[in-house]
Structure 1
Amino acid sequence: MGFLSDMFDARKIKGPVFYKEFSEDNKQLADLEELFEKVKSKKKNLIKKDIILLKVGLDGEKNVNYELKNSFIPMICLHDIRISHEDNIAQLDYVLVTEYFTMVIETKKLTGDIVINEAGEFTRKFKNNYGKVIKEEGMYSPIAQNSRHVRILEDMLKKNGLIKIRPVYSMVVIANPKSIINRTKAPADIKNNIIKHDQITDMLNKKIKKVIPSEKMRESQMMDIANFLKRNHTEITYDYYKKYGLTDEDFKEDINSKVEEVIEESYEKVVEIKIEQPVEKIAEIEIQKPIEKKEDLIEKNYEELYEKLKKYRYAKSQEEALKAYCIFTNNTLEEIIKVKPKNKEELLKVQGFGKVKVEKYGEDIIGIIME
């Protein structure tokens, strides 16, 4: 029946169809966030770091999902497929089954600019607000990583009789709109296999136009491949106790952090009290204010800035459903006031502020200081 439908061009797949949808309700993320709330030791920081990285990755996959859904290309899409084949495991961000080929997309939402040299080596460069490179680091080639995934998938499909000569392509998609890819010196095979997420539709259309029309796959074949992958997908189970080296002690309340937490919460309740009593006029007498001493002014400015930063921290903790000291501690707050950073680079030097926190809270904090 499917063969007759193809003969008379009565295809049902006329645009992107998702056999396994992208979802923001990610089980791994939910498990990590639950674990983060339970763990009381400093190992919370390791969990928090993984939560941030996972959220970044999911955000990148969401960008790719949007482009695929709006491509209008007849194909079957599967998100987050994990396959096992002959002692090999491959985690595939997206598998696209088009009428002419299958494609594996590896999604990367990387910060910084990406440079690929003539040897195919990848380097990431981080710049400050003035465009000056402040950090440079090598990274594992996502092209090599995804090529391995493609080899596993292709061999699996061939040995299960689902394809014979139909190609399986690899494509790395950079899903951060701010990233710049410098591939002028990259070898051709690498240059053509890495794109920005907003180039997906154009890339797919170009590949389809190069294919001979007679090589079009039957719709039933496309469905067979997609259903096979869906059936053979296996969910990964994480042993978080082993990964983070957790013991029963890590779930016990640390007395020092508990004391700080109580102090923080008590303070925040105090600063939230609003006094709205009417002010009575005693007399229409102009009273000259006493001249404040320099040291009094310094102390007053310190206290005002301290209170403003405390209020900001409390607001952010409520917004993100975190304890106030998770935003920054009292010691960090005092160092901020002491340093009075004028830009993000200076804030990075403050103990307790890494790149993530600077990007997240930096502009607000600097704005409060510069008021």
Structure 2
Amino acid sequence: MSIIDNAIYTMLNGKRTITKPIFIKDFDADNKQLNDLIEISKNVSPEKRRLIEKDIKLLKQGLEGEKNVYYELKNSFLPMLCLYDIRLEYDDYIAQYDFIIITRKFMYVLETKKLSGDIEITKDGDFIRIIKSDNGKIIKREGMYSPISQNERHVKILKEVLAKEKLIKNFPIKSAIVIANPKTIIDKSKCPKSIKNNIYKYDQIVNLIKKELEDKSNERDLLEKFLYNIADYLISNNKPITYNYAAKYSLDNEDVKIKEEPKKEQKNNNLGSDKSNDKAQIYEMLKKYRLETAKKENIKAYWVFTNEELNSLIEKMPKTKEELLQIKGFGQKKVEKYGDEILSILNKRG
């Protein structure tokens, strides 16, 4: 926008606050499914362990790919809201989203793929995976389900949900497939233009979003409050999947029992119980402080700190501003603004 446009926007709506990527739901490498599978694999037969370890490997590859995309988005310096790992259930629809990007001009749904081997896309739009040996010889060519079709379906679901909830009207929601493996070569020379324009390497995605933001032909300029309303809805309606490990791997009750000995020991230990009660009390005090501060400043509660940042505070219990700065999400400005009160609560002096 021009200087005049920005001045008018500020006069009517207040200062712009989305000046860089803000992860409303952040990337977390500490994946519960991965942790569960690792724990279960310790207690099963060798045959079942091989199946589980194969899925562990695939899951790790997927997380590594998502981490690559997250790094690019986080360091893009673009004004946008970002959400990682959102799963919606709405009427008869279910859709899993790797990344949802919300800007004042459009939204993007990013589907990440950390594929092994190279990818060839035919003139008919079919995806062929090519597996090669170490010396470059082709071992196998196999078809794969089109990620384009999959993500376009997810985009349609998101459009319908947000429209029915009256959160958007005629607002562009775009689709992009992000190949997150730096070693993968994509041959798009023969594929239809509609596919070619929807598949990117992870190091190209920031330039794509930047180019779209700078597009003069798109005159949309959604107010920030509406961007946050969309993000709020998606966060509130995120329904993480519950995995049925017993059915998938034909496990019995003992197989799927996740060990919780440390928790049991803590319950039987008076000192541990006291500490647990203290942390629960501090947790509630921090939530109360966050709510009161948000109301006082007329902002969203997660602007003060998100639930993930709240959990990190309870887990790490920083005692100084230097320690607080080490916690993900707490930059210099946030610590300067809220640090004293947070530390006061953590040290139970408030």
- TM-score between both structures, scaled by the size of structure 1: 0.65
1: distance between equivalents of 2:202 and 2:161?
27
Q: Write the mapping of 1:238-253 to structure 2, written as runs, cut at 5 A.
A: 238-247=243-252
Contact 1:43 1:250 in 2 (8 A): no
- Is there any run of 5+ residues in structure 1 with no aligned partner, and where? 252-371
Contact 1:6 1:218 in 2 (8 A): no
Tell me which of 90, 95, 100 is aligned to 1:90: 95
2: distance between equivalents of 1:179 and 1:245?
34
Q: Deviations over 1:220-247 (max 9, x none)?
A: 1111111110000001111100111113
**Letter paired with 2:77:** F
Does residue 164 (structure 1) correspond to residue 169 (structure 2)? The answer is yes
Shift of the alpha carbon at 1:135? 1.2
- Superposed CA RMSD in Å reads 1.8
Shift of the alpha carbon at 1:41? 4.5
Does residue 50 (structure 1) correspond to residue 62 (structure 2)? The answer is no
Greater radius of gyration (CA): 1
Shift of the alpha carbon at 1:212? 3.7
Does residue 104 (structure 1) correspond to residue 113 (structure 2)? The answer is no
Q: Write the mapping of 1:254-265 to structure 2, written as runs, cut at 5 A.
A: none
2: distance between equivalents of 1:164 and 1:91?
22
Tell me which of 220, 228, 240 is aligned to 2:233: 228
Shift of the alpha carbon at 1:9? 6.6
Shift of the alpha carbon at 1:249? 8.3
1: distance between equivalents of 2:89 and 2:13?
37
1: distance between equivalents of 2:255 and 2:38?
16
2: distance between equivalents of 1:214 and 1:159?
24
After superposition, the Cα gap between the structure-2 partners of 1:6 and 1:208, relative to the gap in structure 1 and judged at 3 Å, is farther
Does residue 139 (structure 1) correspond to residue 112 (structure 2)? The answer is no
Tell me which of 196, 219, 225 is aligned to 2:224: 219
2: distance between equivalents of 1:178 and 1:203?
20
1: distance between equivalents of 2:60 and 2:140?
23
Shift of the alpha carbon at 1:131? 2.1
1: distance between equivalents of 2:55 and 2:233?
31
Q: Deviations over 1:103-132 (max 9, x none)?
A: 110000001110001110000111223322
How many residue pairs get aligned? The number is 249
Shift of the alpha carbon at 1:248? 5.6
Q: Write the mapping of 1:302-321 to structure 2, written as runs, cut at 5 A.
A: none
Tell me which of 190, 194, 198 is aligned to 1:193: 198
1: distance between equivalents of 2:47 and 2:131?
28
**Letter paired with 1:15:** K
After superposition, the Cα gap between the structure-2 partners of 1:183 and 1:213, relative to the gap in structure 1 and judged at 3 Å, is closer
2: distance between equivalents of 1:32 and 1:211?
49
**Letter paired with 1:60:** G
Shift of the alpha carbon at 1:39? 1.3
Contact 2:110 2:175 in 1 (8 A): yes
After superposition, the Cα gap between the structure-2 partners of 1:182 and 1:6, relative to the gap in structure 1 and judged at 3 Å, is farther
After superposition, the Cα gap between the structure-2 partners of 1:41 and 1:178, relative to the gap in structure 1 and judged at 3 Å, is closer
2: distance between equivalents of 1:70 and 1:123?
32
Find runs of 4+ consecutive structure 1 residues off by over 6 angstroms: none
After superposition, the Cα gap between the structure-2 partners of 1:6 and 1:72, relative to the gap in structure 1 and judged at 3 Å, is farther
**Letter paired with 2:51:** L
Q: Write the mapping of 1:173-192 to structure 2, written as runs, cut at 5 A.
A: 173-192=178-197
Instruction: Give the corresponding residue for 2:45.
Output: 40
Shift of the alpha carbon at 1:133? 1.4
Instruction: Give the corresponding residue for 1:72.
Output: 77
Q: Deviations over 1:64-87 (max 9, x none)?
A: 000001111100000000001221
Shift of the alpha carbon at 1:209? 2.3
3-state SS of the aligned residue for 1:171? strand
**Letter paired with 1:111:** S
1: distance between equivalents of 2:120 and 2:110?
20
Instruction: Give the corresponding residue for 1:128.
Output: 133
Instruction: Give the corresponding residue for 2:341.
Output: none
Contact 1:100 1:211 in 2 (8 A): no
3-state SS of the aligned residue for 1:71? coil
- TM-score between both structures, scaled by the size of structure 2: 0.68
Contact 1:40 1:250 in 2 (8 A): no
Tell me which of 120, 142, 151 is aligned to 1:115: 120
